[in-house]
Amino acid sequence: MAEKFTIPIGPQHPALKEPGHFEFMVDGEIITGASVRLGYVHRGIEKAAEGRNWTQDIYLLERICGICSHVHALAFCLGVEQLAGVSAPPRAQAIRVLIAELERIHSHFLWLGVAAHEAGFDTLFMYAWRDRETVMDALETFTGNRVNYSANLLGGVKCDVTPDIASQIYRAVDNLEERTRHYLNVITSDDSLAERTRGVGVMTPEQADQLGVMGPTARASGVMRDIRVVAPYAAYTDFPIQPVTETAGDLQARFIVRLSELFESYRLIRSILDHLPAGDLKTRMPRRVKAGETISRVEAPRGELFYFIRSNGTDMPDRVKVRTPTLCNLASVLTLVIGRQIADIPMILVGIDPCFSCNDRAVSLVDNKGERRWTWEALRQYGIDYYRRWR
Amino acid sequence: MNWASILKEITVWARTNSPWVIHFNSGSCNGCDIEILATLTPRFDLERLGVRLEGSPRHADILICTGAVTRQARDSLRLIYEQMPEPKFVIAVGSCALSGGVFQGCYNVIGSIDRVIPVDVYIPGCPPRPQAIVNGILTLLERLQERERIS
Amino acid sequence: MTLEAARDLLRAWTQTAQTPEANRLDIVVTAGDLLAAVDALKTSRWGYLSAITGLDHGREMPSLEVLYHFCSDAAIVTLRVSAPRENPSVPSICHLIPCAVVFERELAEMFGITVVGIPDADRLFLPDDWDETVYPLRKDAKLE
pLDDT above 90: residue B13: no
Residue C121 domain-assigned (yes or no)? no
Contacts of A110 in chain B (CB under 8 A): 34
pLDDT above 90: residue C64: yes
Q: What is the mean pLDDT of chain B?
A: 85
Question: For B75, which residue in chain C has the nearest alpha carbon?
Answer: C127
Distance (Å) from the alpha carbon of A83 to chain C's nearest alpha carbon: 10
User: How confident is the model over A169-222, as pLDDT tens digits?
Assistant: 999 999 999 999 999 999 999 998 888 889 888 899 999 998 899 999 999 999
Q: How many independent structural domains does chain C possess?
A: 1
Mean pLDDT of A123-133: 93
- Element at A127 (helix H, strand E): helix A122-143
Contacts of B72 in chain C (CB under 8 A): 127
Alpha-carbon distances, residue B150 vs B139, B143, B147, C125 (angstroms): 17, 11, 5, 48
**Binning pLDDT at 50, 70 and 90, where does residue B12 land?**
low
DSSP assignment letter at C73: T
Residue B89 domain-assigned (yes or no)? yes
Q: What is the pLDDT of residue B139?
A: 85
Residue C74 domain-assigned (yes or no)? yes
Cβ atoms within 10 Å of C91's Cβ, excluding its own: 18
Alpha-carbon distances, residue C98 vs A301, A303, C101, C102 (angstroms): 24, 19, 6, 9
A63 within 8 A of A292, measured Cβ to Cβ: no
Q: What is the pLDDT of residue A225?
A: 96
Inter-chain touch A48–B105, beta carbons under 8 Å:
yes
pLDDT above 50: residue A347: yes
Contacts of A332 in chain C (CB under 8 A): 99
Distance (Å) from the alpha carbon of B38 to chain C's nearest alpha carbon: 29
Residue B74 domain-assigned (yes or no)? yes
Residue C123 domain-assigned (yes or no)? no
Residue C131 domain-assigned (yes or no)? no
> Could you list the residue range(s) of the whole structural domain that residue B81 is in?
15-142
Beta strands across the sheet bearing A303-311: A292-300, A303-311, A317-323
Question: For A17, which residue in chain B has the nearest alpha carbon?
Answer: B30
pLDDT above 80: residue A378: no
Inter-chain touch C136–B107, beta carbons under 8 Å:
yes
The whole-angstrom separation of Cα B110 and Cα A42 is: 11
Strands A21-27 and A303-311: unpaired
Alpha-carbon distances, residue A209 vs A53, A179, A340 (angstroms): 38, 32, 20
Any residues with CB less than 8 A from the CB of A167 and at least 6 apart, and which? none
The whole-angstrom separation of Cα A122 and Cα A143 is: 31
Residue C139 domain-assigned (yes or no)? no
The one-letter code for the residue type at A172 is A
The one-letter code for the residue type at A35 is S
Contacts of A230 in chain C (CB under 8 A): 73-74
User: How confident is the model over B41-70, as pLDDT tens digits?
Assistant: 878 877 777 777 777 788 888 899 999 999
- Element at C115 (helix H, strand E): strand C114-116
Contacts of A37 in chain B (CB under 8 A): none
Contacts of B107 in chain C (CB under 8 A): 136, 143-144
Inter-chain touch C102–A327, beta carbons under 8 Å:
yes
Q: Which CATH number fits the domain that encloses residue B63?
A: 3.40.50.12280
Residue C144 domain-assigned (yes or no)? no
A24 within 8 A of A7, measured Cβ to Cβ: yes
Mean pLDDT of A367-386: 60
Query: pLDDT: is C64 or B56 the higher one?
Result: C64
pLDDT above 80: residue C56: yes
**Binning pLDDT at 50, 70 and 90, where does residue A390 land?**
low
Residue B113 domain-assigned (yes or no)? yes
User: How confident is the model over B25-44, as pLDDT tens digits?
Assistant: 898 888 998 999 888 887 88
Contacts of C135 in chain B (CB under 8 A): none
For B27, the closest of A13, A43, A64 (CB atoms) is: A43
Any residues with CB less than 8 A from the CB of A68 and at least 6 apart, and which? A103, A107, A300, A301, A302, A305, A355
Inter-chain touch C130–B72, beta carbons under 8 Å:
no
Q: What is the pLDDT of residue A383?
A: 74
Residue B33 domain-assigned (yes or no)? yes
CA A2 to chain CA mean position, Å: 34
> Could you list the residue range(s) of the whole structural domain that residue C29 is in?
3-116
Please name which of A115, A109, A181 lies closest in space to residue A138, comparing C-alpha atoms: A109
Residue C56 domain-assigned (yes or no)? yes
**CA atoms within 13 A of residue A124's CA, in its CB half-sphere:** 22
Mean pLDDT of A235-247: 96
**Binning pLDDT at 50, 70 and 90, where does residue C66 land?**
very high
b/e burial code for range A193-216 (CB count within 10 A of at least 16 → b): beebbeebbbbeeebbbbbbbbbb
Residue C91 domain-assigned (yes or no)? yes
Residue B10 domain-assigned (yes or no)? no
For B71, the closest of C127, C136, C143 (CB atoms) is: C127
Strands A303-311 and A292-300: antiparallel
C60 within 8 A of C52, measured Cβ to Cβ: no
Residue B84 domain-assigned (yes or no)? yes
Please name which of A359, A320, A305 lies closest in space to residue A7, comparing C-alpha atoms: A359
User: How confident is the model over A54-68, as pLDDT tens digits?
Assistant: 999 999 999 999 898
Query: pLDDT: is A344 or A58 the higher one?
Result: A58
User: How confident is the model over C77-103, as pLDDT tens digits?
Assistant: 999 999 999 999 999 999 999 999 999
Mean pLDDT of C108-113: 97
For A47, the closest of B30, B33, B107 (CB atoms) is: B107
Residue B63 domain-assigned (yes or no)? yes
Inter-chain touch C127–B107, beta carbons under 8 Å:
no
Distance (Å) from the alpha carbon of C123 to chain B's nearest alpha carbon: 13
b/e burial code for range B62-79 (CB count within 10 A of at least 16 → b): bbbbbbbbbbbbbebbee
**Binning pLDDT at 50, 70 and 90, where does residue A365 land?**
very low
CA A19 to chain CA mean position, Å: 16
A150-154, A216-220, B76-80: least confident range: B76-80
- Chains A, C: CB contacts within 8 A come to 82
Question: For C76, which residue in chain A has the nearest alpha carbon?
Answer: A295
Mean pLDDT of A310-324: 96
Q: What is the pLDDT of residue A6?
A: 58
Backbone angles phi, psi at A317, to 5 degrees: -70, 150
The whole-angstrom separation of Cα A174 and Cα A165 is: 14
Residue B8 domain-assigned (yes or no)? no
Mean pLDDT of C98-123: 94
What pTM did the predictor assign?
Answer: 0.92
pLDDT above 90: residue A73: yes
Any residues with CB less than 8 A from the CB of A90 and at least 6 apart, and which? A235, A238, A277, A279
The whole-angstrom separation of Cα A342 and Cα A338 is: 10
- Element at B146 (helix H, strand E): helix B130-150
The whole-angstrom separation of Cα A295 and Cα A323 is: 11
Question: For C54, which residue in chain A has the nearest alpha carbon?
Answer: A321
Mean pLDDT of B71-98: 90
Q: How many independent structural domains does chain B possess?
A: 1
